[in-house]
Structures are given as C-alpha cells and as structure tokens.
Chains A and B, each alone.
Chain A
Amino acid sequence: MDIEEHFFRHEFGRIVATLTRLFGVGNFALVEDVTQDAFCRAMETWKLRGLPKNPSAWLMATAKNRALDILRRERTARVSEPALARFLESEWTLVPTVEEAFSAYAVNDSQLRMMFSCCHPRLSEEAQIALILHILCGFSVKEIAQAFVSSHAAIEKRITRAKKILAESTKLFDLADADLPSRLSSVLQALYLLFNEGYHGSSPEAAVRMELCQEAMRLMNLLTKQPALVTPQSYALAALMYLNAARLPTRLDGSGNLVSFFEQDRSLWNHNLIAEGQALLNLSASGTELTKYHIEAAIASMHTSAARSEDTDWKQIVSLYDMLMAIHPSPVVALNRAIAIAQLEGPDRGLQEIRIIHDLHRLSSYPFYPATLGELELRRGNYPVAKAHFSTALSLARNPMERNFLQRLIDTCKES
C-alpha cells in the first residue's frame, strides 16, 4: 500500500498545530479530541475504501470541517489567539479565517510556533523534548517511554505537567517576539538532543533509533525553510544532522551489529546527505558566533570528506576538539579529543590525555569510556589489560548491539 512511512504521525503534528492556532493553547484537550476524531474517521474509512487521492488533504479537510462545526456551535472554543478571535465571531469571516489557518503557509507557521511554544523556559530540556515528540511528532506516551527508556508513568506525568504550562500561555509563541533569539537557542538545543538520542541511543532495544533522528531533521527542515528563523547556528546544526545522518546506515552491519567507526564501509555513506550537509555548513560560516554546532559539524565534515579512514586529517580534528573544549567542555568531548590525539600521536598519548580528563568520574557509567581504554591498550599489544577494560565496558552496555560489539573485542583479545 502506498502510504508514506510515518504519514499519520506527521499529519498529526500538522493538524494539532493548526487547530491550536484556531482554538488557542488553553483549549488543548479540545484540539486533541478533534485531531483524534479526524484520524479515527480516516482510519475507519481508508481501511475499507482504500486511500483517497490525496490523503493529506482529506485529513486536513476533515479536521477543518469539524473545527468549523465546533466554532459555530460552541463559544467556549473561541478563545483562540486574540488576533483571530474576532474573525471567528461572524459567519462572514469565520470560513475564510479557518481556510486561511489551513493553508500550507499557515500550517507550517503554526508548527513552528508550536515548536517554539514547547521550548518554554519553565520546562526542563527533557520535558521540552517529550512535548515536541508528543505534540509535533504524534508519539504516544508509550512510544516516548520506549524511546527514552523511561516508565510510562514518568513520561505521562512529565507531559501532563508540560501541557499545563503550555496552556498557561495565552497564545502560541509569536515568531516576531523579542524573545525569539533566546527561544531559538532552546529550540535548537532540543532538536540537537532529540537527534543525539536517536544517533547514540541509550535504549536497551536498539543502539540507533533512526526515527528520532528523522523527526529531528524534519523539524529542523521546517525551521531552515523559514527565512526569518535561519541563523548561522541553525544552519550549523542542520549541517551536523545531515553529516551524521549520512553515516547512520553504516553504524550497524547487515545483522544489526554495531560497526567500529574505523571499519565502516564508507562507500555506503549517503552522499546526497553529505553534499547537503556540506552546503549547509558553508551557509553556517557567516556571522561572528562560533557555536558547538559549528565545531561538531566541522568535525563530522572532516570525517565525511576523507575517502578512507587513513586519509582523515586528525591534526585538524584535534584542533577542532581543542576549540570545542574551550567553548563547551565536557568529559565526553575530552574523551573524543583523546581518541583523536591517539590517532595522531599514538595510543600512549591518547591514554595520557584520558588520565588527565577533568571530571573523569562522570564517565563511570559510559560504556565507551572503558571501551576506549581497551581499544588503546589493544593497540599497544596489552591484551590482558585491554580485555579487562572491555569486560568492564560489557558490564555497562545498554543494549544487545553494544554487548555483541564488546564481546567480539573481548574475543579478539583472547585470540591474540
């Protein structure tokens, strides 16, 4: 059947955002009812009658008609944005106003406003991401709980609370607001974390959750298509996502096992995404602000531009990590920097750098910390020490892919 992957999910986000614009953030329960109703109608009809010619327009028209019914009947539904409210009072202006809200431009605009509204300063980063996934990406509480290895109850509580805070705003975030720059940073950070969660995935089920990456990129694309919102840092984050996504297919082999970065088949990298990422990276190189997104994208680009692993410009990468440490220090960044130094100057130097990482204890539950120690000891020919490190890493592994990956390294040590 020719129904695009995740079609329902994406349309859900578009419809929720559009209806919220009409009914107002305070009427969110009504918005969810109307959306749910449109999707039930679609499902009940399509499952018997097959897909209509234009499924997206079908859903939008169904939601729109239902919205018109409600706006005609129930005054309480008309507590929308003050700017819209007066147009919803009279039948003369009601229909054109609703039509306008469902136009392609307005739907995108509403999604962006919704995205900015979800990144409310009173919400934690975790709550912002959960809310974005729930409202804009149509993830159920159960699906979010699975994605974040959290309990159903915990996510439910987080979302309920977040919705309450959202509803307290009188209207959706105005993209012409003076607070836009600070809010934009939060939005970018949320999308960055969402992408990383999919890319590095601590989920017990899967090491890579492509869907989260795809959702982050879809929302990112909405943002970079809006001229008023694109800043060098949004281009940089988009570039980072494209350059990393290009390498996603090779992180797992045919049997779903994690593949070491150095052994990945570079011919399988997605070269369209690399080209797109590189173009975005060039666009990001204006202005005066150098963000972590710029540097991380530049590092990713150093990797994607090397035809073979041994062609990598590690010297340049080390200096990029130096810059990243200067503006955004963290033990994980320091560990990655040490790995780059090991590539450039040998495993001894790498280990030396690791020993002096500030806050090293914060890596104590991160499996790739002992795994890195093991990898460097392996290169020095210290097989028993390497094996001990890999065993520690194995005990910290978060999913079967990580476990298999580490088990194979342990086996390598035994054989040597």
Chain B
Amino acid sequence: MTEFAYFYRGYELPASPEEMQKKTVKWMTWLKDLSDKGHVKSLGEPLQPGGKVVKGTKKQIIDGPYAEAKDVVGGYSIIVAKDIEQAVELSLGCPIFEDDGSIEVRPFGQPALGDGY
C-alpha cells in the first residue's frame, strides 16, 4: 500500500446556507465511506485562501495566493491505496467535481525500502 496526498483545488462555494449544508454532508459522506474502507490515513486540513509566499535567494515575501483563484489549494487529505490507479479511482466520488474543482493525486516521495534501512 502507498500513501497519496489529495490536494483539493478550485471550486465554487455554494450561495445559500441550505446548499452549503447539503454540500458539507456530501463531503462528509464521501470521506466517511473511504475511511470505513480503510483508505484514509489522515482526514487532512482545510487551508485558508490567503497567505504569504517567501521566494528565492532574496527571500522575497509576497502576498498569496500566487495562483489564480481556481488553482488555489483549499485543503488536503492523505489516502492509502495500492497504486495510483486505485488512488484516482477513489477520488472519483468526491463532490468537488460537481463544482468544477479538481483533485491533484500525488504519491508520497519516500521510496518504500522496508525496515532494514
């Protein structure tokens, strides 16, 4: 099994409290289902849209977000799957797609060498 990060990007927020509630419940249901099947390592955290970017040798500090609104990462989760295909498959039920958002699926970088190292 490999760990993957899901980065949630760019989606419209619903306009009314009722729609917000429906959307929240959809997300909770989706993640709970993944969790019940043992695929969730960490539910992750939401990220606020604003922030700072510190950059380059001059350590220049700029106001974030530096990407366009639709590309800003709104949160992440850590998922366990047997390979990238399954990790992608598991993401398909996410309500983010209804709002034209995207999920970036990234395998963790450390090579799986086992305990002997």
Q: Which residues of A contact B (CB under 8 A)?
A: 1, 3, 6-9, 11-12, 39-40, 42-51, 138-140, 142-143
Contacts and interface: CB of A to CB of B under 8 A. Distances in A.
B18 A48 contact: no
A226 to B, nearest CB: 24
Contacts of A49: 43, 45-46
A44 B32 CA distance: 16
Contacts of A140: 15-16, 18-19
A138 B16 contact: yes
B16 A7 contact: no
Secondary structure of the A contact surface, majority rule: helix
Contacts of A143: 16, 18
B43 A48 contact: yes
A182 to B, nearest CB: 32
Given A43-B14, A44-B75, A139-B16, 14 more contacts: A3-B25, A9-B17, A9-B21, A39-B20, A44-B46, A47-B23, A47-B24, A47-B46, A48-B31, A48-B44, A49-B46, A50-B32, A138-B17, A138-B18
A45 B45 CA distance: 7
Given A48-B44, A48-B77, A49-B43, A1 B29 contact: yes
Contacts of B23: 43, 47
A47 B28 CA distance: 5
Interface footprint category on B: 20 to 34
Nearest to B75: A48
Nearest to B19: A140
B74 interface: yes
Contacts, number: 73
Contact of A8 (B15, B21, B27, B74): B21
Contacts of B14: 43
B16 A46 contact: no
Contacts of B112: none
A53 B20 CA distance: 19
Contacts of A43: 13-14, 20, 23-24
B13 A1 contact: no
A3 B27 CA distance: 13
Interface string B8-52: 000001111111110111011101100000000001111000000
Contacts of A3: 21, 24-25
A9 B18 contact: yes
A69 to B, nearest CB: 14
Contact of A48 (B13, B27, B29): B27
